[in-house]
């Protein structure tokens, strides 16, 4: 059987998972690929750390040129995280004639145009299934399986750490801080979980999906995003009382105003598939004009789920499917973007609002007055009885459909009332 | 831009959906395919029926040779249902040098080995995403995206008609007959719904998945199957009382005894994703040893969801991906099956049993005695109070894990008691 030599650059958790699949399951990969994927080199500066895989002698090296200068190595899994040296290594691999597979969403969200252009110039390919939602084959689904469709919207839970934390807050009543510690303890969150919980990670993944699904060229830093790090467990409970769960959604949606793009904690109606995604799982709900709604759910991170996606890409690349897809889709090419990103202020939907108000006469009429002035209709109000007049109590309002801009202006005005105590809270609602 | 000529054979509901995508969305398909898919011919014996698409003059014909004798037509969507003339047409298309896309699961389940062998001999390909679960890209997921994995199990709701009927029975308390009429009224069920509700359709799809996911060569007629046509709405309610929903599951699962394969009405614990699949939706839960559990949900039938899958396959075929996948996977080839189908009697799991018993002393001890003799442990019992002694009442038993064989023998023995009135009921339980 034909043998194709492959390498891994960046031999950490994911890299050693990929090595395990290549070494321990060589036969079944050969059966699925019609050829043997032969692990020739694994490159990492750390030659001594113990990993949960036994590499045969001579494979592990700290010298990248053992890959770039070996013309027999055709496919490389580039698994270095962060921007540098990942970008430089990626360019060096492409320039030395390798087809590259990567799991690095930050790199693609930041340098996608440069890397994809360079790959095209060199006649090489980049595969990136593992960069979004780990083991869930969403890149392949959008890029290949749904190619008869105009994608109308994507709603995704793309950050497993945030979803784990939200699940702990909802089901165990944990505070955000407690839930973060629990996530760290279980290995779901980094020592510094900022990029996961502030919406950065999800926005980077959304930028990739927006390019793939809609041809939108958008810098991830331009995507409006709110993390869950400012979320009060009280709102988790109020949402539940109203029949919703709070989920961190990454949204891309075609509207008359262009592509709506944002990452936001959102109240999702219980019973909707996205509301029922628990723990560290990822999920994506895609609507295509022909296929209708398709829903994908699985593990978005972790060693073996991510390695599963990387190895599938290595097989696709080895057999030649990636080259075709890469040429055909022309991602991040210099041609005009197919869709413009809309003004976030025009994004429309329903809102949940919480104002901490002093319970005295006239509060409700003044709050309602401001909403009315901004033509925001109230769908429902929830205010529990206060202990005594003058006490501060939460006033919860669910609005009918309005715009982000109107809701934002109305909330600012309401917050200016002296009977309202900061912080007030505003979140999108999906049902 | 390059142009590739395609044709449709069998111009019914799905065929006209495919034509709509090809004609009305030519530009976006060209963007996704890197070339224009040009509909050259649509073949159907009925030239007069009105369809919801306007074909340009000269496309519709009743003469298949206008396709087979036109060497410029490269890709053909073969959308004739049933076995003949579908098989003969398919062979004629392959022999005239066409790559074929099909949605016909009955044809593949029955004649897959012959058709795939012939395509290989001729250097042609067959794509069949639309044959299982319509718009849900499960064929691509298993054949391509999860290729780093050993698939350990598939649990699917593969027949939308059955699922629609079950939803009506559960949520509206409809009888099976009422729900069938409703499904017919809404166009979800044929005038003769037998193949949908007796498990035939799901077993044919399962035979395809068993080949693709496990390399199992199994005649669909050898797959143990029970339909929902004998289901009593009473059991739907009892299941609900116990915290379950009844779903028609197609199951393929690797066990020490070989591949467990069957189609069965099954009690699925509420809250599990498969339990929450409603109406005419399809869903599949796949477990791979690397990726863990991945869940797919979407419309399994209907004009445009199915057309979406057919057109994705036509694009894959036009760009060359299908040829690679077809060569690589060697489906239904003559090499030895990779896995044997296990003896269904050894399949293991929990069971729900209902016996209609006369309420008199000693019943419970005799029933429990038989179960004990077959080493079946009782997990829970539910028996509501009878109106009076001697009245017939349902005795519900949930067992711990046992085998199909033991459960079957025990039930036969229990049914033989004179205080038990037929029919008794036995279903698998999944939680």
The answer, for A315 touching chain B at a CB cutoff of 8 Å, is yes
Q: Alpha-carbon dihedral of residues B383, B386, B389, B392, nearest 10 degrees? A: -80
State the pLDDT at residue A15.
96
| Token digits of residue A6 | 């492959």
State the pLDDT at residue B219.
94
Which residue out of B136, B279, B282, B290 would a mutagenesis test of the A interface target, given it has the greatest number of A Cβ atoms within 10 Å? B290
- Catalytic-labelled residue, pool B41, B74, B105, B205: B205
The answer, for A325 touching chain B at a CB cutoff of 8 Å, is yes
CATH 3.30.360.10: which residues of chain A?
138-300
Which residue out of A13, A14, A137, A145 would a mutagenesis test of the B interface target, given it has the greatest number of B Cβ atoms within 10 Å? A145
The answer, for A293 touching chain B at a CB cutoff of 8 Å, is yes
| Interchain pair B312, A148: CB under 8 A | yes
| Token digits of residue A413 | 């005005």
Picking from B98, B103, B151, B91, the residue whose alpha carbon sits closest to that of residue B129 is: B103
CATH 3.30.70.260: which residues of chain B?
346-430
In order along chain A (431 residues), what is the average pLDDT of each group of 10 residues? 96 95 95 95 93 92 98 97 96 98 96 96 97 96 96 97 95 93 88 92 97 94 95 94 97 96 97 93 98 96 95 97 94 83 96 92 92 97 78 92 97 95 93 87
Q: How far is B131 from chain A (nearest CA, A)?
A: 14
pTM of the model: 0.95
| Interchain pair A21, B148: CB under 8 A | yes
CATH 3.40.50.720: which residues of chain A?
3-134+305-329
Per-window interface: B 23-42 vs A, CB < 8 A: 25, 28-29, 31-34
The Cα–Cα gap between A165 and A187 comes to 12
The CATH number of A3-134+305-329 is: 3.40.50.720
Which residue out of A53, A77, A138, A291 would a mutagenesis test of the B interface target, given it has the greatest number of B Cβ atoms within 10 Å? A291
Q: How far is A309 from chain B (nearest CA, A)?
A: 7
Q: How far is B154 from chain A (nearest CA, A)?
A: 14
What interhelical angle do B26-33 and A321-329 show, nearest 10? 130
Q: How far is A236 from chain B (nearest CA, A)?
A: 20
Q: How far is A262 from chain B (nearest CA, A)?
A: 24
CA nearest to B136 within chain A? A294
Give the tens place of pLDDT for each residue, B310-324.
999 999 999 999 999
The CATH number of A345-430 is: 3.30.70.260
| Token digits of residue B349 | 């799991």
| Interchain pair B137, A145: CB under 8 A | yes
A245-278 in b/e form (b: 16+ CB < 10 A) is bbbbbbbbbbeebebbbbbbbbbbeeebbbbbbe
- List the single residue in A294, A308, A320 with the smallest CB-CB distance to B149: A308
CATH 3.30.70.260: which residues of chain A?
345-430
CA nearest to A291 within chain B? B305
Which residue out of A290, A324, A329 would a mutagenesis test of the B interface target, given it has the greatest number of B Cβ atoms within 10 Å? A290
Who contacts B292 (Cβ-Cβ below 8 Å, separation ≥6)? A135, A298, A299, A302, A304, A305
Segment holding B319, helix H or strand E? helix B303-319
First and final CA of chain A: distance in angstroms? Answer: 53
B221: which DSSP letter?
G
The answer, for A401 touching chain B at a CB cutoff of 8 Å, is no
| Interchain pair B148, A327: CB under 8 A | no
Indicate the SS3 state at residue A88: helix
Asked if this assembly's ipTM is beyond 0.90, the reply is yes
| Interchain pair A144, B293: CB under 8 A | no
Per-window interface: A 108-167 vs B, CB < 8 A: 129, 135-137, 140-141, 144-150
State the pLDDT at residue A254.
97
Q: How far is A133 from chain B (nearest CA, A)?
A: 11
Who contacts A119 (Cβ-Cβ below 8 Å, separation ≥6)? A94, A100, A125, A126, A326
Give me chain B's average pLDDT, please.
Answer: 94
| Token digits of residue B60 | 């519709």
Check: CATH 1.10.3720.10 for B138-300? no
The answer, for B297 touching chain A at a CB cutoff of 8 Å, is yes
- List the single residue in B25, B148, B330 with the smallest CB-CB distance to A308: B148
User: Which residues of B fall within a CB distance of 8 Å from A147?
Assistant: 29, 32-33, 311-312, 315
Residues of A classed as catalytic: 205
Q: Sign of dihedral through CA atoms A18, A20, A21, A23?
A: positive
Who contacts A248 (Cβ-Cβ below 8 Å, separation ≥6)? A157, A159, A162, A163, A166, A199, A202, A227, A228, A263, A264, A265, A266
Contact predicate B228/B183, CB 8 Å: no
Question: Sheet containing A126-127: which strands, arranged edge to edge?
Answer: A60-61, A36-43, A3-9, A73-78, A99-102, A126-127
Q: How far is B134 from chain A (nearest CA, A)?
A: 9
- List the single residue in A21, A149, A297 with the smallest CB-CB distance to B273: A297
Contact predicate B128/B313, CB 8 Å: yes
User: Which residues of A fall within a CB distance of 8 Å from B291?
Assistant: 135, 298-299, 304-305, 308-309
State the pLDDT at residue A389.
66
CA nearest to B328 within chain A? A34
User: Which residues of B fall within a CB distance of 8 Å from A338?
Assistant: 31
Query: How many other C-beta atoms lie within 10 A of the C-beta of residue B418?
Result: 6
Stretches in chain B below the pLDDT threshold 70: 388-390
Q: How far is A210 from chain B (nearest CA, A)?
A: 15
Supply φ then ψ for residue B38, to 5 degrees.
-100, 115
Per-window interface: A 202-221 vs B, CB < 8 A: 215
Per-window interface: B 41-60 vs A, CB < 8 A: none
The answer, for A278 touching chain B at a CB cutoff of 8 Å, is no
User: Which residues of A fall within a CB distance of 8 Å from B311?
Assistant: 147-148, 290
| Interchain pair B298, A297: CB under 8 A | no
Domain B346-430 belongs to what topology? Alpha-Beta Plaits (3.30.70)
């Amino acid at each position: 059987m034909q043998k194709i030599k492959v390498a891994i650059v960046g031999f950490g958790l994911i890299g050693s998972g990929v090595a395990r699949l290549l070494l321990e399951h060589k036969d079944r990969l050969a059966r699925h690929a019609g050829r043997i994927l032969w692990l020739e080199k694994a490159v990492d500066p750390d030659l001594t750390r113990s990993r949960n895989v036994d590499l045969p002698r001579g494979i592990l090296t700290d010298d990248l040129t053992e890959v770039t200068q070996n013309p027999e190595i055709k496919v490389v899994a580039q698994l270095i995280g962060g921007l540098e040296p990942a970008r430089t290594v990626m360019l060096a691999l492409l320039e030395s004639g390798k087809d590259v597979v990567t799991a690095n969403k930050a790199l693609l969200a930041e340098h996608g145009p440069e890397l994809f252009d360079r790959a095209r110039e060199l006649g090489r390919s980049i595969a990136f299934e593992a960069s979004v939602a780990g083991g869930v084959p969403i890149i392949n689904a959008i890029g290949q399986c749904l190619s008869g469709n105009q994608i109308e919207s994507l709603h995704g839970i793309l950050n497993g750490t945030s979803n784990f934390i939200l699940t702990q807050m909802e089901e165990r009543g944990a505070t955000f801080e407690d839930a973060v510690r629990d996530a760290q303890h279980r290995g779901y969150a980094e020592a510094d979980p900022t990029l996961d919980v502030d919406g950065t990670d999800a926005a980077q993944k959304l930028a990739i999906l927006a390019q793939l699904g809609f041809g939108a060229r958008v810098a991830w830093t331009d995507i409006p995003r709110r993390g869950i790090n400012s979320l009060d467990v009280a709102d988790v409970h109020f949402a539940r009382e109203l029949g919703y769960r709070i989920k961190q959604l990454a949204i891309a949606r075609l509207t008359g105003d262009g592509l709506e793009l944002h990452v936001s904690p959102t109240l999702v109606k219980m019973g909707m598939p996205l509301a029922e995604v628990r723990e560290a799982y990822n999920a994506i709900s895609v609507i295509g004009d022909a296929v209708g709604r398709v829903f994908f759910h699985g593990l978005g991170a972790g060693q073996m789920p991510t390695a599963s996606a990387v190895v599938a890409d290595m097989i696709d690349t080895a057999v030649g499917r990636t080259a075709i897809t890469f040429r055909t889709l022309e991602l991040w090419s210099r041609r005009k973007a197919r869709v413009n990103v809309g003004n976030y202020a025009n994004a429309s939907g329903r809102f949940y609002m919480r104002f901490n108000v002093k319970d005295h006469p006239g509060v409700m009429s003044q709050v309602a007055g401001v909403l009315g002035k901004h033509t925001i209709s109230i769908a429902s109000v929830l205010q529990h009885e206060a202990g005594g007049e003058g006490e501060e109590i939460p006033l919860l309002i669910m609005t009918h459909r309005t715009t982000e801009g109107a809701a934002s202006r109305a909330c600012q005005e309401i917050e200016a009332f002296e009977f309202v105590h900061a912080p007030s809270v505003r979140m999108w609602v999906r049902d």
